[in-house]
Structure 1
């Protein structure tokens, strides 16, 4: 759904008041957070979408990794999952079995239990998960704490939107496809753990998904009441992403929607390659964490991420 239209609808439902609702609809954050005890809060999120890859097992894995990211971005530990399934009568049930098997594999990797789900008959396959996680109420990481002088760190390259679009048309190379799949299948668990363990902590975090890098960066800006400078040349890109984005037929339609939502609030301070600029709006699936960390701790976080096997970049 276009981000502008979504925000317009959600504005009508932000007057929910409860002393234990720590993060709600009005916060435009990655998930809802509700305190259930002085030392424990529950994180609630849901995410589902149509297949972005042909192989059903891989689709299930990607969908699970993508859904888990909201909890990782908030510094939480995912615990329970429920499947959300839309499935056509015409397809063999073995396809659904493969999707669920792929999802289960990623959930086991994350230490998450599947406790149920819901399914409906639909013309198109859609799959995702409702997830529950936990976090200490004093240790929630939201998108609202960024401060002047912070450094932005991105934990995955961007470009999954345009590469998967080319994959659907069988126009992505083997190297391009494999790199995009590896990116999407990598859980943000290690990145989140490094972020949580950082002495002194970070100020804000979000995961980069459908609104693109600039869209989610803008959410941090608006929630934190700060401005932000992103050096486009430092943003890590998936192999082939820049070449594929130059071929307009592979550009996801969400790019224009993201541009319409963000452009009124950004400015370009130097000459920028058009294709690189466009990639900054590319909708991501199972994208990385975008972390706002005090400048004096940025080096420590980058080193911790490297030790954890996360190829992060300061942007």
Structure 2
């Protein structure tokens, strides 16, 4: 196979946010790392599992900075670029901000991938940045064994609009803005087993910008937000619980799913990252007795460019849900609540 016809997904050991480090391994690696330090204007650093760093300027404006990149989960280079860009920009929205510019991060196996394919990856990323209203203002590229693409993204917001993943409150309702199943669909794509129409659904959800996060952050009764990516719904729900020192309760039947996700999960289209995610949670996640493995793997399925997990005052949950759906997230749903108790996730 020549460099112009290579399948991108065959050059990578994993794909999308599924190639994140095991959350348990990551916690070990970061445990002894020095904190970002006593900087008065650093509002959010590496002391928590938030989605981006936040720095306060003199006039009350905050600068939000993040970076995200991964290996291909699809073979179409343009789609790969679009998905990677959408995913990277999402961290800004999850913090309550609006993106203002991006820098490209590119690693390609020179000689294995033709220049015209690499150019399509970059064009795909730039097209999503244009949709978000921001430029790709520069970047950096290296020769790597596997294809890698992503962005470093800068955004802004007002100080009172910063939304973290540690500020959920007892009694809050939890809203998930996108359906789960991206990792399962990716596994089916690699085995050419995704049903008709599935790829279009896959691209539609992974390239839908989470810009609703910036709008939600203007509401004082939106207490916490995070985006659901490589650690799955349970993993990011656990980060929310640990950050707030509370219990997150997930109603499994209420969680929205991509059309074929349940069928594919039952048929064994499970990613290795899903299994790694589950093994990292330990006793911090409690499942109902008799819960089938396929349903568990839907909750641990690594999402690439997944939805926002929003913690809000329960009295306003239906109002916010209506606004989220009106913004194009038609499958958004209220999926649980926050309760007093030991930090962890309980599935019912």
Q: TM-score range by the shorter chain?
A: over 0.9
Match for residue 298 of structure 2 among 264, 279, 291: 279
Question: 1:227-264: CA deviations, max 9, x gaps?
Answer: 0110000000111111212233x311111111112132
What is the CA-CA distance between 1:45 and the residue it aligns to? Answer: 0.5
Mapping of 1:1-315 within 5 angstroms?
Answer: 1-15=21-35, 16-90=37-111, 91-189=113-211, 191-198=212-219, 200-248=220-268, 250-269=269-288, 271-311=290-330, 312-315=332-335
What is the distance in 1 between the residues matched to 2:292 and 2:144?
42
- Spell out, residue by residue over 1:23-47, the C-alpha distance to the aligned partner (whole angstroms, 9 max, x if none): 1111110011111224111111111
- What is the distance in 2 between the residues matched to 1:174 and 1:126? 28
The structural deviation recorded for 1:202 is: 0.4
Report Cα offsets for 1:59-101 as digits up to 9, x if no partner: 0000000001100001001011110000111121001110011
Secondary structure of 1:72 counterpart: helix
Task: List, as ranges, runs of 4+ consecutive aligned residues in structure 1 with deviation greater than 6 Å.
Answer: none
TM-score by length of 1: 0.96
Residue range with higher mean Cα deviation, 51-60 or 254-263: 254-263
Following superposition, the deviation at residue 174 of structure 1 comes to 2.2
Cα displacement string for residues 262-315 of structure 1 (whole angstroms, at most 9, x for unaligned residues): 132021245434312211000000000000001011011011112222221000
Q: Indicate the SS of the match to 2:294.
A: helix
Tell me how far apart the structure 2 counterparts of residues 25 and 197 of structure 1 sit (CA, whole Å). Answer: 24
User: What TM-score, normalized to structure 2?
Assistant: 0.87
How many residue pairs are counted as aligned between the two chains? 312
**Partners of 2:326 and 2:69 in 1: how far apart?**
32
CA offsets 1:209-228 (integer angstroms, 9 cap, x no match): 00000000000000011101
Q: CA–CA distance in 2 between the matches of 1:193 and 1:23?
A: 17
Question: RMSD between aligned alpha carbons?
Answer: 1.3
1:197 to partner: Cα distance: 4.1
